[in-house]
A and B are shown apart, each in its own frame.
Chain A
Amino acid sequence: MEDKIRQALSGDANAFLQLIDAMSDHMYKTAFAILKNDEDVADAIQDTIISCYEKLGTLKEPRYFGTWAMRILINASLHILKRRTPCLDASDDVLSFIPAVDDGFSGMRFKELLAMADSAYHLLLTLYYADGYSIKEIADLLDMNENTVKTRLKRAREQIRRELHESRKVSCES
């Protein structure tokens, strides 16, 4: 993987696209965790791919390619979210403004699970469980304190556990 990243850094566009292609699923889930709307996710991903290519020169360490690209994606997604949420300003906790999952998307497993947790936890859950980032990496990505990430993940997890328990109880009763 690192070889591929070095190829991309040396100007091999094909290597860059292969890296991005391999990240597509994670990019989709992460952008969706913020935007909850496929059209907006499409915009965010398109801008991110082009922006990443143009900014390759700013990537410090090849091994951080994934984190670096994901940060660009998160920023692009938050920018779109801010456009949709005019009341949001720089001092707000942007995560708390992430909308809840639309019922129309509930056919997919990860979206179902997301829907069981408060929307403020969606991005954290996706970064942790779908993208495999560590607590520290998430804290760096989102400019948050590590303890805050831990606490929020714990709460999210408890919410999902409770919701799953409730839904199983309902299905057993019916």
Chain B
Amino acid sequence: MSRVKFPANHDRFGCGMSAYDTFDRQLFFSFQEKEELPPCVEEAKKAAFEKVLSLAAQKEVIDMKNLKTTGHLEKASKKERKPTGLGKWRTALSAAAAAALFLGVCAANPAFASKIPLIGRVFEAIGNSYTYSGNFDDYITPIAGETDEDALSQTVNGMTVSLSETYVNNGYLYVSFVLETEEAFPETRADENTRPGVLCLGFRQSVLSADFCSGTIMLPGMSGIEARLMDDHTAAGILRVNLSQKDRNGEAWSDSMPDDFSVQMHISSIFGERDAGSQPRLPEDLYAAYQDGLTEAGISLEAGFGGKSASAYESLTEEQKEIENQLFSRMMADYYERYSFQDEYWSIEGPWDFTFDIHKNSEGVWSTVIDTRDILEVEELRVTKTPFEISVTFDRPYEPFRKNGIHFTGGDYVVVVFDEAGEYMGVAMPDVPIQDHPISTVTLYVCDWSEYMELKGYYWSPDYEEKAKEKTFQEYLAEHALYSTELAF
């Protein structure tokens, strides 16, 4: 980052060595030399960037649903994102409360009760809370292995992984699974920000291979899994893999996938992010010292759970904020010193290895290719509709590029999808979930990437409902899009 400067003219080591020490300078400039990221790191970065954009798109949909149902955006939740001092502790409390509430719901709802076997009905149990929810009953099949039933349920290091159902269309593989632990299921943070209730857990160094090709696909870490806690010992989830992604041989499985094939899934380890609530509580003496410091400095902050309110903080002068910040940093440094390197993740080592059969189900799948070479800087848009998603792909200039002085990694177009009623469905990154949208027709708008970052503000604005009376987001985008087309399914 641009923070890096050689701090001249002071004793950096505090031990008599001058900053003008030539050797020190040599070291500094040698370490500063830019490194080319190795291909695997670059790929991992790209995948993470795509996931972030996809999460952002999902969050937009959630926010807009709030807007539609409540008439206003949840501004309060946005304020929580701003500096709020001890907000971490408040977040921990609310996450714990949400988890407790969810467990309460599970206990009260027979559909989630652990006594009813989950195997064979994970999609049903997760139901409409799944991002790609829909009528999976007509499409899923119980997973069938080549060997005995036990091969689809394996216990290693106290964690039993059982595969449940699968569905494969032309572009995506869905596999549902159940994770059961002998001890209580490790405390895991739920992603309340973008995917409420979804546990932040994933598979690490895990791959998928198939008998029709030699390349392997890396299973998504946290990004492609939606798992939820079912009871104190059980989590159930759905793994979704984009088969249009290139495997390690540079080929996409979706290009050559036969109707029937066999898949090997190797899960090296399962990891999760600890719930902030599982971290040791902030010791009272540290908090008292922080409060005493504030009092001494004549700073008054409304004390809620462990801290100040955002509005009180914002009313401080810059000098007071600086003092408060020093006190807060000191308190947190002391906290971290007491609980040195509190590991933020848990992991359970496998491996769990499965082999199972797949039958591609092309029912309800529709595809087309739109020639855009005379309109856009990409040759074509490839559109595929399945019963659960609409994907739009194109050959993005993935190489990093510079535009208006800004360094970009990623595509330079976004494709925004609207349903037949003109409702915003999301940005195809590379897909949008259909959920309960009416889609006998959909309209695609292709916008310049950086321009869309501004355009979307129209839809996000708190007064959108008012603005929509004059001009809907769809009409607004129609004026600014580089290209649009309506597709009838």
Binding site for B on A (CB under 8 A): 1, 9-14, 16-26, 28-29, 38-39, 41-43, 45-47, 49-51, 53-54, 56-62, 66, 72, 75-76, 78-79, 82-83, 90, 94, 108-110, 113, 125-126, 129-132, 134-135, 140, 143, 150, 153-154, 157, 160-161
Docked CA distance A50–B46 (Å): 11
**Known A57-B80, A61-B83, A140-B329; contact A135-B14, beta-carbon cutoff 8 A:** yes
Q: Which residues of A contact B460 (CB under 8 A)?
A: 11
21 A-B pairs with CB atoms under 8 Å apart are A1-B2, A13-B55, A14-B453, A16-B52, A21-B400, A21-B407, A26-B1, A42-B44, A47-B202, A49-B51, A49-B52, A51-B273, A57-B87, A66-B1, A83-B349, A90-B340, A109-B33, A125-B31, A126-B31, A129-B32, A154-B13
Contact status B40-A50, CB under 8 Å: no
Per CB-CB distance, the 4 closest pairs between chain A and chain B, nearest first, are A132-B4, A13-B56, A129-B31, A42-B44
B461-483: contact bitstring with A at CB < 8 Å (1 yes, 0 no)? 00000000000000000000000
Residue in A closest to B57 when the chains form the complex, CB atoms: A13
For A153, give its contact among B4, B13, B204, B222 (CB under 8 Å). Answer: B13
B184-225: contact bitstring with A at CB < 8 Å (1 yes, 0 no)? 000000010110000010101100000000000000011100
Contact status B84-A11, CB under 8 Å: no
Docked CA distance A161–B47 (Å): 40
B91 at interface, CB cutoff 8 A: yes
Instruction: Decide if the interface of chain B is mainly helix, strand, loop or mixed.
Output: mixed
Contact status A56-B81, CB under 8 Å: yes
Docked CA distance A174–B49 (Å): 49
B282 at interface, CB cutoff 8 A: no
**Known A25-B35, A129-B31, A132-B3; contact A46-B340, beta-carbon cutoff 8 A:** no
B319 at interface, CB cutoff 8 A: no
Q: Which residues of B contact A60 (CB under 8 A)?
A: 83-85, 87-88, 325, 328
Contact status B223-A160, CB under 8 Å: no
Docked CA distance A9–B337 (Å): 28
Binding site for A on B (CB under 8 A): 1-5, 7, 12-15, 17, 23-24, 27-28, 30-35, 37-38, 40-41, 43-45, 47-49, 51-53, 55-56, 59, 78, 80-85, 87-88, 91, 191, 193-194, 200, 202, 204-205, 221-223, 269, 271, 273, 276, 325, 328-329, 333, 336-337, 340-341, 343-345, 347, 349, 400, 406-410, 449-450, 453, 460
Instruction: Decide if the interface of chain A is mainly helix, strand, loop or mixed.
Output: helix
Q: Which residues of B contact A76 (CB under 8 A)?
A: 344-345
Contact status B81-A46, CB under 8 Å: no
Contact status A90-B1, CB under 8 Å: no
For B222, give its contact among A9, A20, A47, A157 (CB under 8 Å). Answer: A47
Q: Which residues of A contact B53 (CB under 8 A)?
A: 13-14, 17
**Known A21-B407, A46-B45, A140-B329; contact A58-B88, beta-carbon cutoff 8 A:** yes
Residue in A closest to B14 when the chains form the complex, CB atoms: A150
Contact status B1-A23, CB under 8 Å: yes
Contact status B341-A78, CB under 8 Å: yes
Additional A-B contact list (14), CB under 8 Å, known A25-B34, A38-B38, A57-B81: A12-B453, A17-B53, A17-B409, A17-B410, A26-B1, A49-B51, A50-B48, A51-B200, A58-B88, A75-B344, A75-B345, A79-B271, A79-B343, A157-B13
